[in-house]
Amino acid sequence: MPINKNAMIRYQALDRCLRNYQKRFYIQDLIDACNHALVEVTGCKGAKGAERVQRRQIYNDLNFKEDPLGFGVTIERKREGRNTYYRYAPGSKTLKDQPIRQEEIDMLHDALVLLKRFDGVPQFEWLADVESALYSTSRLGEESHSVVSFQHNPYLRGMKWYKMLFDVIVSRRVIEMAYQPFGKDVRTMRVSPYHLKQYNNRWFLIAKQDDCHFLSHYAIDRIIDIRETANVYQPLPEDFDFDDYFADVVGVSITDAPVEEIELHVTEKAFGYIVTKPLHASQCAHPVYLSDGRWSITLKAQVNYELLSLLRSFGDGIEVMRPLTLREHMKDTIRKMAHLYEDTDD
């Protein structure tokens, strides 16, 4: 039977009393100990279950602790005149000796499944040890199979920098970074780091170089080296919000391009995917059904590399109608792709 929070607080309070052979605990002492523990944990004297434990509840708790289906302990009831005090019998098990219940193990496993989203991220290596220990002490061992999977890239380079970047962001320290963009030479830059963002299975550092007035993003798999410096950190304004900062883009690339209204004509097949997983937060909530059997969808976003990649991923399921600059860009890309697949005579 599941044990609620208040019950467990009472059981632990009773356990501390019953283990203490230096003092005699009568029924009122046990009631007071449970009430005090409830107030300590809940922080509210008037809450239900706090300072309202009755004598009958303590008797029921003691009986449950002795029940083999409860904790299976042995409690002595020592008469002293007209009163009775309580303690564990010599050799009795205590609450600390109890194995973790299967229902508690299952709850821990469910929590661990969610924490596994951080698999591969430094500072969370201990999850593997917890998981191994959990499987070895429960029925979730060889017979069980994972029922939840989260997307991650275990082969992503640069994750060794994650912990250091996290620490310097929190402590507001300037770093000097050796960084190598794709197809370019290594460059060294000094930055104030602000934020870590994950997109498409890659992690990016959002930072600002010295004497710059704009933020830049750096893929941590392109970082060659990092060194802390004693330079003065450039903080962001107190009201700066990264959710707002990324609101107009897909992914992490922010440019000087304006936010534009983007009209897409989408096939019935692609429409199902796009409705359930919007391309962008600005996606029109009321798509329009067209006479050719497609749907018209409107976004308000900045055209960047990630948006272009996303649109290309739908192939012929999406046609860009406007703005014309984006439509022409897509047409040019399609021509180049078609050229790659042209048959040539050997």
> Tens digits of per-residue pLDDT, 227-256?
999 999 999 999 999 999 999 999 999 988
The residue-averaged pLDDT of 319-332 equals 96
Predicted pLDDT at 322: 94
The residue-averaged pLDDT of 16-43 equals 89
- Fold classification of 259-340 is Alpha-Beta Plaits (3.30.70)
> CA-CA distance, 268 to 278, in Å (whole number)?
15
> CA-CA distance, 216 to 206, in Å (whole number)?
6
> CA-CA distance, 193 to 191, in Å (whole number)?
6
Predicted pLDDT at 285: 67
> Secondary structure of the chain: what % helix, strand, coil (to 5)?
40, 20, 40
88 or 140, which is more confident: 88
Predicted pLDDT at 39: 87
**DSSP secondary structure code for residue 266 in this structure:** E
User: What are the residue boundaries of the structural domains of the chain, listed by start?
Assistant: 5-97, 100-152, 159-245, 259-340
Q: Which of 103-112, 280-289, 302-311 has the lowest mean pLDDT?
A: 103-112
Distance in angstroms between the alpha carbons of the first and the last residue of the chain: 75
Looking at domain 159-245, which of 3.30.70, 1.10.3470, 2.30.30, 2.20.25 is its CATH number?
Answer: 2.30.30
- CA 279, 246, 151: angle at the middle one, nearest 5? 55
Q: Which helix (H) or strand (E) holds 331?
A: helix 324-340
5-97 classified as CATH 1.10.10: yes
Say yes or no to pLDDT of 50 above 90. no
> CA-CA distance, 88 to 25, in Å (whole number)?
11
143 or 342, which is more confident: 342
Question: Binning pLDDT at 50, 70 and 90, where does residue 7 land?
Answer: confident
